[in-house]
Amino acid sequence: MPINLPTDLLRSFLAIVDTGSMMRATEHVFLSPSALSLQMKRLEEIARRQLFQRSGRSLVLTPAGRELAASARRILELNDSAVSAMLGETLSGVVKLGLVQDFAETLLPGILRDFSALHPQTQLQLQVAGSAELVDAYRSSELDMVLCLGRPADAQAQMAAPMLWLGDPDLAREEEVKLVLLDVPCVFRSAALRALQEAGRRFRIVVETPSLSASRAAVAAGLGVTCRTDLLAGWGSLPPVPAGLLPALPSVGYVLMQSEDPTEAGHRLASLTLDALRRATAHTPAPRAAAA
């Protein structure tokens, strides 16, 4: 006999996933902590799996929880779209989204496709820029939502990913490391320079550009090495530098900032964006060649 997943339980489940704690989630679903806890117990009984485990004061997803979260977002999007269609409602208006070049090149096409299919009457205004510029625009209320880079410890960081050195391994063996970097400010640029300086490695910036595409072309042409993450860069044929040839790099946070009182369209766009980010991260290969 088919088992039904109640949408109210799924909404509460995703509220906990997105906020990172049961207490913060209560503000989004308007339930008491005890009622929310009972809902999650019921959902785990239906799923027959543990969905959360504690990490300090936060709740993190188990493998079964991550799988359910991805499915829950799709289920709720389809449910809400069907309800809107039956009621003759359409989501319209304008949603202003800002994101860094890396996400624009890798995640944006799929996000736009899914959002347009669900909400064809909503107009999207897109701004692609550096993280610092996007955060300033968000704080000035010029953007409704921002997907950018930051520290893994940032309150709005959804996940963290290790930075990797990318490029021709022979260049990493040279006495002077040739670098291809984006213009200031750039978290990857800062991390690369700091790592080399602290390790006492000589380096020289051979290409400096504001364009991610130009940076990719320069690395592919063998002009120098750079650092990025597997997910963000979408580099494809660019090889990771083997472990040990260059100094270790830190991790970077994937940060999603959304207005405290989003429109329904904005809320759904954020949901689609988080879903795309988590799917892409889940399918990203482990960084085999990250510097040790």
Q: How confident is the model over 185-197, as pLDDT tens digits? A: 888 999 999 999 9
User: For the residues 242-255, what does the mean pLDDT come to?
Assistant: 91
* Overall domain count for the chain: 3
Whether residue 243 is found in the same domain as residue 109: no
Confirm whether 290 is domain-assigned: no
Last residue of a domain, one of 56, 85, 114: 85
Of 233, 14, 211, the C-alpha closest to 107 is 233
Cα dihedral sign, 70-72-78-84: negative
Question: Domain check: are 80 and 59 in the same one?
Answer: yes
Of 25, 54, 85, the residue at which a domain comes to its end is 85
Q: Would residue 189 count as lying in a domain?
A: yes
Residue whose C-alpha is closest to residue 171's, from 135, 196, 189: 196
**108 vs 237, residue with greater confidence:** 108
Domain identity same for 109 and 123: yes
Same domain, 168 and 213: yes
Q: Which helix (H) or strand (E) holds 272?
A: helix 264-283
* Better-scored residue on pLDDT, 281 or 54: 54
**CATH number of the CATH domain containing 137:** 3.40.190.10
Are 243 and 290 a contacting pair, CB within 8 Å? yes
The CB density around residue 154, as the number of other CB atoms within 10 Å, is 15
The answer to whether residue 1 is domain-embedded is no
In a domain, 291, yes or no: no
Task: Tell me, yes or no, whether 241 and 267 share the same domain.
Answer: no
The verdict on 96 and 126 lying in the same domain is yes
Same domain? For 143 and 265 the reply is: yes
Are 136 and 273 within one domain?
Answer: yes
The CA distance from 135 to 153, in Å, is 16
Q: What is the pLDDT of residue 290?
A: 35
Q: What single-letter amino acid sits at 175?
A: E
In a domain, 199, yes or no: yes
Q: Is 202's pLDDT higher than 90? A: yes
Please tell me whether residues 76 and 117 are part of one structural domain. Answer: no
Rounded CA separation 45/118 (Å) = 31
Please tell me whether residues 12 and 127 are part of one structural domain: no
Task: Read off the pTM.
Answer: 0.62
The reply to whether 73 and 144 lie within a common domain is no
Q: Is residue 289 part of a domain?
A: no
- Residue in 84, 146, 73, 87 with CA at minimum distance from that of residue 120: 84
Task: Let me know: does 215 contact 226? Beta carbons within 8 Å.
Answer: yes
pLDDT attached to residue 92: 55
Angstrom distance (rounded) from CA 20 to CA 238 = 35
Q: Is residue 262 part of a domain?
A: yes
In a domain, 2, yes or no: no
- The pairing of strands 251-258 and 145-150 is antiparallel
Query: Residue 29: which domain range?
Result: 7-85
What CATH number has the domain bearing residue 60? Answer: 1.10.10.10
Predicted confidence band of residue 281 (pLDDT cuts 50, 70, 90): low
Q: Are 169 and 247 in a shared domain?
A: yes
Read off the pLDDT band of 285 (50, 70, 90). Answer: very low
